[in-house]
């Protein structure tokens, strides 16, 4: 089940809202837990046991860590078990395929289905255990409460990676005000629109182009651009909907995206893109390795480890590893070589430089294997422009230009700035009129979004595969 499906919008969500808000305060957590389990069952019933096993491991591990003796040993065992489970389900095939290819062996490669959301909920569970060890959070003695934290359906299968410390108090005691409910609903509608109206259309075009075998330069360029917008609006839309749903139930999840395409450097881009993942690797890998406290050489090694793992976290393919190391190179260059140059560079040129790097990064990310990556790059730089290719380009642009315009406009904080200006208005009547217009527009956007859903069967979520 995905958020942008009619079964979720018109059946699951109304049911959980009805049951949750009618339930007494003491049982609200259990209502959420029940519906979170039902939500996960739609994606794969047999993997619910795996989710329960991971939570149980971290529940017991945290209890053992809380004791004064052998805390570090119990932490190591708990983290090792989490990683072993993740590696088995996500990377067994990758490792065995490469061993077979390198050593010319024929080891059977088992067909292991990747459980939905395993990368996200494993990282969440590990962050809880590590924070218990660091004494940043209190031990959670109620297994069901810990299970709710990990399995909470708004962020279960595709993030953001919610830290236990950010919702520890809300798990015990929270209230949903009318303002919270309204904000959450608004955020969900806007996220749904971004996903269905922009991301899906960009994805349809990107898939059409990337599947072609004889690409020419302008078509290849357009395909890369479409994917660049698809992945941003797909993933940020999911985060918007997750944050909105969380707010409806009284949880205040931290932001996961902050308009990354307005960045003026790759360093800034990674402060704005998938913030929960970047901060997770910073706090639980980079800083424990020594961060920048042990000299330049050690800092570069630490950055290498972090970006190797960041790429590998996204998938068991070489293109993801290359993608991670690609960003490692540019981040090191910016930190130690280009920092003074970028300071003196005009803002517009910094934007262009950053977008070019991001663009090629997404091409690496999108191509399934090294062969397809090489072919796509060759097509991009072949400059083989023909009359037929230009006609094909014009057909694509005529069909998708409105979605490109929407994608470009909403890559900037236009909506947020307009709302902020409305809130600052002192003219009461004008402010009321604009607010009525605003919420009426949201209703219209929701209706249009549902119409798109009704007439299209293309509705993937990219980050479900991670």
Q: CA quadruple 89, 210, 307, 137: dihedral positive or negative?
A: negative
Q: Where are the domains of the chain?
A: 6-174, 176-257+382-466, 265-379
- For residue 375, which of 198, 241, 227, 220 has the smallest C-alpha distance? 220
CB neighbourhood size of 111 (10 A): 7
Active site residues: 314
For 32-88, how does the pLDDT look when each residue is reduced to its tens digit (9 = 90+)? 999 999 999 887 778 899 999 999 999 999 999 988 788 999 999 999 999 999 999
Distance CA 459, CA 225 (A): 19
The alpha carbon of 448 is separated from its chain's Cα centroid by a whole number of angstroms, namely 25
For 247-298, how does the pLDDT look when each residue is reduced to its tens digit (9 = 90+)? 999 999 999 999 999 999 999 999 999 999 999 999 999 999 998 888 899 9
For 385-438, how does the pLDDT look when each residue is reduced to its tens digit (9 = 90+)? 665 678 888 999 999 999 999 999 999 999 888 888 888 887 778 888 888 888
* Lookup: tokens for 454: 């009704």
């Amino acid at each position: 089940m995905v958020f942008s499906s009619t079964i979720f919008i018109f059946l699951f969500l109304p049911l959980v809202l009805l049951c949750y808000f009618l339930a007494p305060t003491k049982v609200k957590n259990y209502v959420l837990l029940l519906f979170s389990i039902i939500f996960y069952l739609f994606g794969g019933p047999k993997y619910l046991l795996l989710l329960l096993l991971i939570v149980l491991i971290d529940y017991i591990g945290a209890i053992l860590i809380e004791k004064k003796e052998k805390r570090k040993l119990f932490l190591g065992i708990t983290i090792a078990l989490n990683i072993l489970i993740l590696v088995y389900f996500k990377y067994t095939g990758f490792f065995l395929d490469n061993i077979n290819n390198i050593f010319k062996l024929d080891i059977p490669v088992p067909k292991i289905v990747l459980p939905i959301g395993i990368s996200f909920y494993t990282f969440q569970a590990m962050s809880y255990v590590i924070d218990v060890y660091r004494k940043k959070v209190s031990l959670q003695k109620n297994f069901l409460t810990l299970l709710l934290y990990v399995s909470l359906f708004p962020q279960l299968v595709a993030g953001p990676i919610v830290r236990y410390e950010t919702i520890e108090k809300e798990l015990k005691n929270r209230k949903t005000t009318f303002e919270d409910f309204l904000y959450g609903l608004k955020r969900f509608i806007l996220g749904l629109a971004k996903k269905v109206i922009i991301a899906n259309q960009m994805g349809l075009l990107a898939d059409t182009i990337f599947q072609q075998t004889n690409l020419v330069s302008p078509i290849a360029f357009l395909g890369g651009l479409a994917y660049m917008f698809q992945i941003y609006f797909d993933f940020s839309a999911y985060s918007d909907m997750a944050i909105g749903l969380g707010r409806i139930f009284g949880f205040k999840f931290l932001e996961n995206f902050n308009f990354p395409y307005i960045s003026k450097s790759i360093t800034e881009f990674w402060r704005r893109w998938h913030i929960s993942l970047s901060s997770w690797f910073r706090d639980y890998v980079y800083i424990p390795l020594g961060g920048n406290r042990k000299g330049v050489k050690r800092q570069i090694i630490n950055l290498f480890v972090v970006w190797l793992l960041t790429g590998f976290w996204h998938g068991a393919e070489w293109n993801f590893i290359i993608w991670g190391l690609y960003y490692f190179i540019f981040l090191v260059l910016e930190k130690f070589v280009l920092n003074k140059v970028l300071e003196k560079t005009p803002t517009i040129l910094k934007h262009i430089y950053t977008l070019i790097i991001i663009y090629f990064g997404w091409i690496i990310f999108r191509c399934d294997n090294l062969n397809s990556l090489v072919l796509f790059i060759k097509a991009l730089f072949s400059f083989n422009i023909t009359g037929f290719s230009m006609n094909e380009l014009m057909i694509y642009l005529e069909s998708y230009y409105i979605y490109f315009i929407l994608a470009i406009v909403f890559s900037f904080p236009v909506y947020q700035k307009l709302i902020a200006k409305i809130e600052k208005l002192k003219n009461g009547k004008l402010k009321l009129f604009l607010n009525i217009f605003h919420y009426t527009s949201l209703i219209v956007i929701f209706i249009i979004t549902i119409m798109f859903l009704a007439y299209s069967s293309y509705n993937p979520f990219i980050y479900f595969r991670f």
